[in-house]
Structure 1
Amino acid sequence: MASKTEICCELLIAILLPPLGVCLRHGCCSVELLICLILTILGYIPGIIYAVYVILSVDRQHNPDYWRPINA
């Protein structure tokens, strides 16, 4: 589980560059990153909202059904 400082830094990065915040949390080849990238291209605010949602709610370590890589 990530520390509160780490989550806070990821949220600040996600507000500035939403795909980068998601990439730090879930990796470069994840579905979350792809969705965030598309939303950020379509509109900056939806990208921020999705990035904050993914960083705060999706916890890959406690979810055994989590599907991380796209190309696995």
Structure 2
Amino acid sequence: MRIIGGKNALDASSVHPEAYPVVEKILQATTSTLAELMGNNSKIHSLNAKDFVDEQFGLPTVNDIFKEFRKTGA
């Protein structure tokens, strides 16, 4: 479910709220804001999804987040 105009910009994306902590880790690692990262394919391609895998979030989840980041305006 996507929530347009929600409290978090990710609410309008396909990223599930339970995965927001992964997004925060990615943003911290890239020193980017969500707006700077969304649609920035060169920056996204420079990242290694495996670097953000942990005991709670596996590679498929991180790859899905990267896929969503590649969409502009999501």
Q: TM-score, normalised by structure 1?
A: 0.24
Structure with greater helix percent: 1
